[in-house]
């Protein structure tokens, strides 16, 4: 009997330490210096680096990476449990060396990079000496990769990149850009001539690549490997986002419950009104359903591969966005007027739900993936009736019992009486 929902006690000690560390150290830093983790200013580094050093000392740095890729090799289930804690704080992933978009970029560098590429980019990324961005989506449309037009053309000893990318997260702060071209993924140092970061939008950048010349060794993986590498990268990223969405849901849920016990209306605390209880009960069930889906998916990855778990990862992606939307909306609502201000994190968390439904591929595309993959396990029924058509099944059952009924006519009478009775209900 192998089902077990408990956490290894040694790892629980780590998780308890992480929870306390985040509350005592990470949250105060985040409240006063929300962008410190992405700044190279020495004063900000002096605030951030001691916290990162503590994390490294605990062996919790870059825990998303397998041992053979240079990480501690905890696997996805432990990562999920850790993300459930650190996902409450937007800057915590950077303190633990597992921040997007660097995580996915490190993963493909570790998996597909040459030794020289790893020396040059992976290890500095792991140490946050440099930062990266992933430049795939194009202005004409992000959901359909066949629309992407950015090209890399070989010219002697160089690649020449031309194209335009949209919504490259943290692109303007990145030292290197992983640029998805029609024939592969290329690593482009941001200061290469021809890279132009436009003024708007500010956080997710619009970047033009015009005659950007790169040495041949800046191609990552095989020349036609863009799709393969992007899938590997995004698969990991999606499940990590879903893990952190659980943390956001729980934070909203904790706030909702505390508030429900603290406000009075119409002669009782609002937690005693049935509709508030309904909101709490639905949220409780939905968060736990999401959590089990994510942990099951993490377990599947640990026991097979990201590719094998593709259907589950897609289901996690849109389920996380939906549960986050529902739970944070209920929490905002239960907070009443205070909920719609910026005096609590709730409103921002609620706004995160539509973002989650779009980033890493829109929900519709993932639903198509799930439906298509699931349907591969089914066949159309033969003839006009579905396989669960009861008269046909009953006729088959009658054949199975034919000999017994012939030997004992009582059985026939019992069966007819029971079926008559069942049809009346
Ligand atoms: C916060 C955030 C961070 C991001 N970071 C990055 C990044 O770092 N790098 C990067 O390259 N990209 C990034 N993206 C871009 C993201 O990958 C795209 O936004 C996403 O793929 C959707 O593309 P689009 O915005 O062009 O929407 P569109 O493709 O224009 O889709 C718009 C809408 O059309 C409908 N639709 C589209 N396709 C289908 C379909 N097949 N079936 C049914 N309906 C459909 C859906 O309702 C969808 O929401 C980020 C996005 C967000 C929100």
What is the 364 CA–ligand 1 centroid distance (Å)? 10
pLDDT in tens, 215-250: 999 999 998 888 888 888 877 778 899 999 999 999
Give the pLDDT score at 2. Answer: 81
- With beta carbons less than 8 A apart as the criterion, state whether 252 and 349 touch: yes
* 324: in domain: yes
**Claim to verify: residue 237 and residue 369 sit in the same structural domain:** yes
pLDDT in tens, 328-350: 999 999 999 999 999 999 999 99
DSSP string of 79-124, one letter each residue: HHHHHHHHTTSTTHHHHTT--TTHHHHHHHHHHH--HHHIIIIIHH
Closest residue by CA, ligand 1 atom 33: 362
Give the pLDDT score at 234. Answer: 79
Does residue 209 have a pLDDT over 80?
Answer: yes
- The domain boundary, picked from 204, 220, 236, lies at 220
253: left (phi over 0), alpha (psi -120 to 50) or beta: alpha
* 355: in domain: yes
**Claim to verify: residue 369 and residue 249 sit in the same structural domain:** yes
DSSP secondary-structure letter at 206?
A: E
Mean pLDDT of all residues in 385-402: 96
148 is written with which tokens?
Answer: 């992407």
Q: What residue numbers bound the domain in which 20 lies? A: 9-113
Output the domain CATH number for residue 138: 2.40.110.10
**Claim to verify: residue 232 and residue 362 sit in the same structural domain:** yes
φ, ψ (nearest 5 deg) of residue 199: -65, -40
Q: What angle do CA 89, 357, 151 make, to 5 degrees?
A: 100
* 381: in domain: no
Give the pLDDT score at 73. Answer: 83
Closest residue by CA, ligand 1 atom 13: 167
**Claim to verify: residue 304 and residue 399 sit in the same structural domain:** no
**Claim to verify: residue 255 and residue 174 sit in the same structural domain:** no
Span of 72-76, 307-311, 407-411 with lowest mean pLDDT? 72-76
- With beta carbons less than 8 A apart as the criterion, state whether 122 and 133 touch: no
pLDDT in tens, 59-98: 999 888 877 766 788 889 999 999 999 999 999 999 999 9
Mean pLDDT of all residues in 150-169: 97
* 97: in domain: yes
**Claim to verify: residue 255 and residue 328 sit in the same structural domain:** yes
Q: What is the mean pLDDT of the chain?
A: 94
User: Does the bond joining 201 to the residue before it have cis omega, within 30 degrees of 0?
Assistant: yes
* 384: in domain: no
Q: How many domains does the chain have?
A: 4
**Claim to verify: residue 41 and residue 71 sit in the same structural domain:** yes
What is the 206 CA–ligand 1 centroid distance (Å)? 14
**Claim to verify: residue 19 and residue 83 sit in the same structural domain:** yes
CB under 6 Å to ligand 1: residues?
Answer: 101, 134-137, 141-143, 167-169, 204, 355, 358-359, 361-362, 364-365
* 214: in domain: yes
Give the pLDDT score at 225. Answer: 85
Output the domain CATH number for residue 253: 1.20.140.10
What is the 242 CA–ligand 1 centroid distance (Å)? 17
Output the domain CATH number for residue 109: 1.10.540.10
* Mutation test residue for ligand 1: of 359, 367, 371, the one with most atoms within 8 Å of CB: 359
90 is written with which tokens?
Answer: 């937007």
* 353: in domain: yes
Number of residues that make up the chain:
425
**Claim to verify: residue 209 and residue 188 sit in the same structural domain:** yes
* 124: in domain: no
**Claim to verify: residue 243 and residue 346 sit in the same structural domain:** yes
**Claim to verify: residue 240 and residue 315 sit in the same structural domain:** yes
Instruction: For residue 421, name the pLDDT band (cuts at 50, 70, 90).
Output: very high
C-alpha separations of 225 from 167, 238, 368, 369 in Å? 22, 20, 23, 21
- Answering whether pTM is above 0.85, one says yes
**Claim to verify: residue 261 and residue 210 sit in the same structural domain:** no
Closest residue by CA, ligand 1 atom 31: 143
């Amino acid at each position: 009997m192998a089902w077990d929902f408990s956490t290894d006690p040694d790892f629980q000690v780590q998780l308890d330490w992480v929870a306390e560390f985040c509350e005592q150290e990470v949250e105060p830093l985040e409240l006063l210096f929300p962008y410190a983790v992405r700044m190279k200013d020495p004063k900000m580094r002096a605030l951030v680096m001691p916290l990162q050093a503590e994390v490294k000392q605990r062996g919790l740095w870059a825990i998303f990476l397998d041992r053979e890729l240079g990480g501690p090799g905890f696997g996805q289930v432990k990562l999920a449990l850790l993300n459930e804690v650190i996902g409450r704080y937007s800057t915590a992933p950077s303190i633990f060396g597992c921040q997007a978009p660097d995580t996915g970029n490190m993963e493909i560098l570790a998996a597909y990079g040459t030794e020289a590429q790893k020396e040059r980019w992976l290890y500095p990324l792991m140490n946050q000496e440099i930062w990266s961005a992933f430049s795939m989506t194009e202005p004409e449309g992000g959901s359909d990769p066949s629309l992407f037009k950015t090209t890399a053309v070989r010219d002697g000893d160089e690649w020449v990149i031309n194209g335009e990318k949209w919504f490259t997260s943290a692109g303007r702060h990145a030292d290197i850009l992983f640029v998805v071209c029609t024939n592969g993924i290329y690593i482009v140092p941001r200061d290469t001539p021809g890279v132009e970061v436009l003024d708007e939008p500010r956080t997710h950048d619009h970047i033009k690549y015009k005659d950007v010349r790169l040495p041949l060794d800046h191609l990552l993986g095989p020349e036609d490997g863009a799709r393969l590498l992007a899938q590997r990268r995004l698969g990991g990223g999606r499940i990590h986002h879903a893990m952190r969405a659980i943390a956001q849901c729980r934070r909203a849920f904790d706030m909702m419950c505390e508030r429900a016990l603290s406000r009075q209306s119409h002669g009782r605390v609002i937690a005693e009104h049935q509709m508030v209880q309904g909101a709490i009960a639905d949220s409780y069930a939905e968060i736990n359903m999401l959590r089990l889906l994510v942990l099951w998916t993490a377990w599947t990855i640990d026991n097979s591969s990201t590719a094998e778990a593709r259907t589950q990862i897609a289901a996690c992606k849109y389920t996380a966005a939906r549960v986050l939307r529902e739970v944070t909306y209920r929490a905002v609502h239960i907070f009443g007027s205070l909920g719609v201000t910026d005096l609590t994190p709730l409103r921002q968390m609620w706004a995160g739900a539509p973002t989650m439904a779009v980033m890493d591929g829109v929900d519709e595309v993932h639903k198509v993936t799930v439906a298509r993959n699931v349907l591969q396990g089914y066949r159309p029924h033969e003839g006009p009736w579905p396989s669960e058509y009861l008269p046909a099944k009953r006729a088959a059952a009658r054949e199975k019992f034919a000999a017994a009924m012939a030997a004992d006519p009582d059985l026939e009478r019992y069966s007819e009486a029971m079926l008559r009775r069942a049809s009346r209900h």
